[in-house]
Amino acid sequence: MTTPKEPGAPRSLRAFLPWIAPLGVVLLWQLASQLGLLPGNLMPAPLAIAGACVEALRHQQLLLHLGVSAGRATAGTLIGTSIGLTLGLITGLSRPLQLVLDGPLQMIRAVPALALVPLVILWFGLGEMAKIFIVVITVIFPVYLNTFHGVRSVDPQLIEMARVYDLRGFSLYRQVILPGAMPSILVGLRFALGMSWLVIIVAETLGASSGLGYLAATAREFMQMDMLVLTIVLWALLGKGADLLARRIERRLLPWQPAGQRLSVE
Amino acid sequence: MNNSSRTSGGALVRFERLEKSFGQRSVLRGIDLSIEPGQFVAVVGRSGSGKSTLLRLLCGLEQPSAGLLLVLDASGADARSGVRVVFQEPRLLPWQSVLDNVCIGPQKPDRERGLRVLDSVGLSDRVHEYPGVLSGGQRQRVALARALMHQPSVMLLDEPFGALDALTRIEAQRLVEQLWLEHRFTALLVTHDVSEAVLLADRVLLIDQGRIAEQFEVNVPRAERRGSAELAKIAASVLDRIFDASSSNAFQTPESVPPTLISDTKAVPAGT
């Protein structure tokens, strides 16, 4: 029973299925460009974009810019997740703290992080702090809300059982509440990872001298269509990568959950 | 943890004029009861009679509103830390293995004892699995093992067989009886199944309207109990008394009679 066989198509075919749609789109796109259906100056062909990619790797330090963006997104996600997790845990466990903190947090949540960009640039200038701050602000809320919800929805029968078996304080928290809230926390983390990419690149287009968003902004200024589309494609790929990472973390942290019961959609 | 309460043998349980109310609603109204160490007592009654509250008081999940509640070991010391509960639901932690579930508690886990206890409930081959892959009966056996882990002085069983199918239930009842004979803890079984109560208990208490309405001694030798006509007679008189009590209070207890009470009358003589 430990490794149930999944019904349906064989494994190798199943691994290939998710690639069919993207590959089909790329093929059609290339075909349409070569037939002259898509004007090259507005929508460059996939091969042209691949060329731009090679070019950017050789002359524009594409990898360096990607690394810079990834670094900012990671730093912001780590800080934001820690803050969101802490806030969610304390408000989830203490009714008075919930009353004190939840109202203000919900108000801040209603402000789109990108609306803060001008203010943040005035505060922190164009340095790293400004971008990381934007990511932190964005990441806090999905993690906070899902952690709070997770802590509150831990099965009260299990908490009662734990009380009868003398689990209190930290051990109650470590053995029952935290693992009980973990599925929900990970949903928050998955949101956070996706959103961190979103905002870091937008923040970079508004004022930066490095990063994927900066590349996109300069490409726009110089009307480099292939470069512009390349940044968008990379954006999509990185978002997918963040999602895969979140799933891997989920599988690692929730080995006890049968795949069908995971909160997020596979 | 009190050392003397961990030696084998059950604790004495005593309630004196115990009362419990939730706000305006009085649930237990003056319970006087003494359970000898190692005795097996079943508590029956209709839903809402207060029988579950009695059990929750005993394990500290509720505090009495008035009166006295004592759990004493052989030396007369407080043995409440040795009270263990098996709930109707297994209440296992899904993220811990069967063995870790059994070893739950603030103390350093004694995994060897955990393995022995799991072996005694017939689960030695499932110790490293997650509860999610076990059947209902197996999960309940894990819950039993967890309760046995620290040599309980009192074992509280809150309808522990209620969610099991008929065959698994018989198996689980036999297991509980066998473990009780072996460990000699004091057992308090809350159930609405009268045939189950007379099958397992030395004494059956009928709770009605928050009071002990009647007590029945079950003196049939355990080996002869299944299918015994005498046992069926005791069960029938307990049921009669339940209906007497409830018909005289018909206007105060509007709930319908649980269907199990009715089917059990037939189940006792046929249940060989």
Q: B95 vs A254: CB contact, 8 Å cut-off?
A: yes
pLDDT tens per residue, range B88-100:
999 999 999 999 9
The CATH number of the domain holding residue B236 is: 3.40.50.300
Q: What is the largest CA-CA distance in chain A?
A: 74
- Kindly identify which residue of chain A lies nearest to residue B104, measuring between CA atoms: A165
Q: Do B105 and A166 touch (CB under 8 A)?
A: yes
Does some domain include residue A140? yes
Assess: ipTM above 0.85. no
In a domain, A15, yes or no: no
| Residue A116 pLDDT | 83
How high is the pLDDT of residue A114? Answer: 77
A211, part of any domain: yes
Expressed as residue numbers, the domain containing A126 is 48-254
Question: What residues of chain B lie within 8 A of the CB of A257, using their CB?
Answer: 94, 132
Across the interface, do B93 and A258 touch by the CB < 8 Å criterion?
no
- Inter-axis angle of helices A62-93 and A128-152, nearest 10: 40
- Chain segment A103-118, per-residue pLDDT in tens: 888 888 888 877 888 8
Q: pLDDT tens digits, residue range A61-87? A: 889 999 999 999 999 999 999 999 999
| Residue positions counted in chain B | 272
**Rg, Å, chain B Cα set:** 18
How many structural domains comprise chain A? 1
At A6-42, the pLDDT tens digits run 555 677 788 888 889 989 999 999 999 989 888 878 8
Judge whether A47 and A30 are in contact, CB under 8 Å: yes
Q: Strand B66-72 vs strand B12-22: parallel, antiparallel, or unpaired?
A: antiparallel
Whether the pLDDT of residue A146 is over 90: the answer is yes
Rounded Cα gap, residues A38 and A226, in angstroms? 13
User: pLDDT band at residue B270, thresholds of 50, 70 and 90?
Assistant: very low
| A37 belongs to a structural domain | no
Residue A33 lies in a domain: no
Q: Do A173 and A182 meet the contact criterion of CB atoms below 8 Å apart?
A: no
pLDDT at B267 over 80: no
Given A1, A158, A258, which is nearest B93 (Cβ)?
A: A158
Q: What token pair was written down for A75?
A: 């730093």
A260 pLDDT more than 60: no
Indicate whether A99 pLDDT > 60: yes
Q: Quick check: helix, strand or coil at residue A183?
A: helix
Contacts of A3 (CB under 8 A, 6+ apart): none
* Position B264 pLDDT exceeds 70: no
Q: Region B32-60: what's the mean pLDDT?
A: 91
Indicate the number of domains in chain B. 1
> Which pLDDT value is given to residue B249?
54
Q: What does the pLDDT average to over B216-233?
A: 90
A163/B61 touch (CB, cutoff 8 Å), yes or no: yes
Residue B81 identity: S
Order of all β-strands in the sheet with B12-22: B25-35, B12-22, B66-72
> What is the domain range of residue B54?
4-270
- A5 assigned to some structural domain: no
B69 pLDDT more than 60 = yes
Q: What is the CATH number of the domain that holds A215?
A: 1.10.3720.10
Q: Compute φ and ψ for B90, nearest 5 degrees.
A: -65, -30
Closest-CA residue of B relative to A155 is B91
What is the pLDDT at residue B104?
92
